[in-house]
């Protein structure tokens, strides 16, 4: 178990990286909040409306540098900006009303509040609703079905590349992290293959390298792959057992 000081340092670091990326997004005004879930088994990241992004301790064990972590956070930021979470939760609420086999009262409670947020431009105040925050952080979001559609995942990756470039990170490192992912089916049945995602990232980078506009052109050699700070060591060594390695949406 991490000490309180170690937890605080880790969360401060993740928030610093995440908020820097979020400020490059089309929704910098959201109250962006990033957190670490105490899940050492699943290699996951997830996001909720209004700028909440969570990564598991297991995922943190698997990143090699700050650029890879930034890639994960940028992808989840993109889901929030593109309102994929709202669309997903609204569809779950509709399914629940039709009697779909989901986790009943818990999902209905969370979904109904998220549906309400869709009428407030995505501004879901989890800080003011600790019960809702608790349910989401404990993994209830996993009950929301098979996640975003393939086109939504690719759209999130495309925006993530732009956010990474704006912040000076190498998106190629995010592609390398995707190469570590395994699994499919279940919650991740709707995800594109990691090969498709990596191909899209490579194509986007090639296109930016060929830009005639010098302000839009990308020099890959100048992009950053910062080492992880000392505070990051508190997550411990990478576990060899695990199968699932994709974001939980």
pLDDT of 4-38, one tens digit each?
788 888 989 999 999 999 999 999 999 899 988 88
Domain ranges, residue 103? 84-143
Is residue 169 included in any domain, yes or no?
A: no
Strands 33-37 and 52-56: parallel
Task: Provide the terminal-to-terminal Cα distance of the chain, rounded to the nearest Å.
Answer: 27
Position 75 pLDDT exceeds 90: yes
| CA neighbor of 78 nearest in space, from 174, 206, 11 | 174
Residue 6, domain member (yes or no): no
Query: What is the predicted pLDDT for the residue at 44?
Result: 84
pLDDT recorded at residue 64: 95
Where does residue 211 rank: exposed (0-12), middle (13-18), buried (19+ CB within 10 A)?
exposed
What's the pLDDT at 128? 52
Q: What is the pLDDT of residue 83?
A: 86
Task: With respect to residue 118, please indicate whether it lies within any of the assigned structural domains.
Answer: yes
pLDDT(225) > 70: yes
Residue 172 lies in a domain: no
> Strands, DSSP E only, in the chain?
33-37, 45-48, 52-56
- Say if CB 81 and CB 157 are below 8 A apart: no
Structure-token pair, residue 205: 């980078």
Rounded distance between C-alpha atoms, residue 177 and residue 67, angstroms = 10
Phi, psi of 46 (to 5 degrees): -150, 160
DSSP run (H or E) holding 13: helix 4-22
114-158 pLDDT per residue, tens: 445 444 444 445 455 545 554 554 444 444 444 567 889 999 999
Quote the crossing angle between the two packed helices 150-167 and 4-22, to the nearest 10°. Answer: 90
Residues 77 and 162: beta-carbon distance below 8 Å:
no
**What does the block give as tokens for 170?**
């190498």
For the chain, what is the mean pLDDT? 75
Query: Where residue 242 falls among pLDDT bands split at 50, 70, 90?
Result: very low
Confidence check: pLDDT of 71 > 80: yes
Instruction: Please report whether residue 232 resides in a domain.
Output: no
- From CA 52, how far away is CA 13, in angstroms rounded? 15
User: What whole-number percentage of the chain has pLDDT above 70?
Assistant: 63
In a domain, 137, yes or no: yes
Non-local CB neighbours of 115 within 8 Å, separated by 6+ positions: 89, 90, 93
How many structural domains does the chain have? 1
Q: Is residue 107 in a domain?
A: yes
Task: Count Cα atoms within 13 angstroms, Cβ side, for 98.
Answer: 7
Q: What is the pLDDT of residue 165?
A: 96
Measured distance CA(88)–CA(221) in Å, rounded: 38
Q: Where are the alpha helices (DSSP H) in 39-149?
A: 57-62, 66-81, 84-97, 104-117, 130-137
Q: Give the confidence band of 1 by pLDDT, cuts at 50, 70, 90.
A: low
Q: Among 68-72, 89-93, 153-157, 205-209, which stretch is predicted with the lowest mean pLDDT? A: 89-93
Residue 152 neighbours by CB distance under 10 Å = 21
Q: Check if the beta carbon of residue 17 is closer than 8 Å to that of residue 163.
A: no
Q: What is the pLDDT of residue 39?
A: 83
Residue 106 falls inside a structural domain: yes
């Amino acid at each position: 178990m991490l000490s309180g000081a170690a937890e605080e340092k880790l969360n401060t670091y993740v928030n610093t990286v995440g908020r820097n990326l979020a400020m490059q997004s089309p929704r910098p005004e959201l109250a962006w909040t990033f957190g670490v879930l105490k899940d050492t088994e699943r290699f996951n990241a997830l996001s909720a409306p209004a700028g909440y992004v969570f990564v598991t301790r297991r995922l943190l064990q698997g990143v090699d540098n700050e650029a890879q972590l930034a890639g994960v956070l940028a992808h989840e930021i993109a889901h929030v900006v593109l309102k994929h979470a709202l669309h997903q939760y609204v569809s779950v609420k509709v399914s629940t009303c039709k009697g779909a086999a989901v986790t009943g009262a818990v999902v209905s409670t969370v979904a109904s509040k998220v549906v309400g947020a869709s009428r407030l431009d995505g501004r879901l105040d989890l800080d003011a609703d600790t019960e809702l925050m608790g349910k989401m952080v404990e993994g209830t979001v996993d009950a929301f079905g098979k996640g975003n559609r393939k086109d939504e995942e690719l759209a999130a990756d495309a925006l993530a590349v732009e956010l990474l470039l704006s912040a000076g990170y190498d998106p190629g490192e995010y592609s390398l992290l995707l190469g570590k992912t395994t699994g499919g089916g279940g919650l991740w049945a709707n995800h594109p293959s990691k090969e498709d995602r990596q191909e899209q990232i490579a194509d986007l980078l090639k296109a930016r390298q060929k830009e005639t506009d010098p302000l839009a052109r990308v020099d890959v050699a100048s992009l950053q792959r910062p080492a992880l700070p000392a505070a990051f060591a508190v997550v411990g060594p990478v576990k060899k057992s695990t199968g699932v390695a994709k974001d939980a949406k």
